[in-house]
Amino acid sequence: MFHRWLGLSLALLLVISSVTGVLLALKKDVDVIQPPTQKGISKNLTEWKSLDEISLLATKAFHDTYPEQKENSIDRLDVRPSKGIVKVLFKKGNWEVQIDGKSGEVKSIAKRYSDWIESLHDGSIISDGFKLISMNFLGIGLLFLIVTGVWLWYGPRRVRREKRK
């Protein structure tokens, strides 16, 4: 009985986690989920502009394109030397600006839905505390369901075998 109720209570978390997990697995193949990484003209970091210059170029391009986003600031820089690109990620709205590391040319300004999907996937969309509790509940709950499920399957077989002897 406990097995059934635990399974039902985990079902919603499992559906969310599995659907978002599939979407995250496809993020490099589906441009709507995550914009494709552009290519820069040089992989040699000594030829690149400074990260400060790249940050200023990305911020200007983003705010010129979306003036209503003036309050949106940089969250992090994702440097891709093998592609010659720096992805500049903004705090609000999952925006990304891709800048050529050498020339400073803006290669792309687009939304990144993969970050939002990831926060939904791991529960951090609600809070870090919820993420910790829900992911542990999901993991321990699934382990418990596996053990009790195997027992519910194996137990009756064992009893029937004992009766036959």
pLDDT tens-digit profile of 14-28? 899 999 999 999 999
Spatial CA neighbour of 96 closest among 152, 35, 27:
35
Return the pLDDT at 4. 76
* Angle, vertex CA 162, rays to CA 159 and CA 165, nearest 5: 155
Judge whether residue 2 has pLDDT over 80.
Answer: no
Phi and psi torsions of 29, nearest 5°: -105, -15
| 8-state DSSP, 103 | T
Please report, as a single letter, which amino acid is at residue 91: K
- The amino acid present at 112, given as its one-letter code, is R
Question: Can you tell me the distance from the alpha carbon of 88 to that of 59, in angstroms, rounded to the nearest whole number?
Answer: 8
Per-residue pLDDT tens digits for 113-162? 999 999 999 999 899 999 999 889 888 988 988 898 888 888 888 878 88
Average pLDDT, the chain: 91
Handedness of CA 147, 153, 155, 158 (dihedral sign): negative
Angle among Cα 102, 107, 112 to the nearest 5 degrees reads 120
Q: Which residue has the higher pLDDT, 106 or 13?
A: 106
Q: What are phi and psi of 96, to 5 degrees?
A: -140, 135
Q: What is the pTM of this model?
A: 0.76
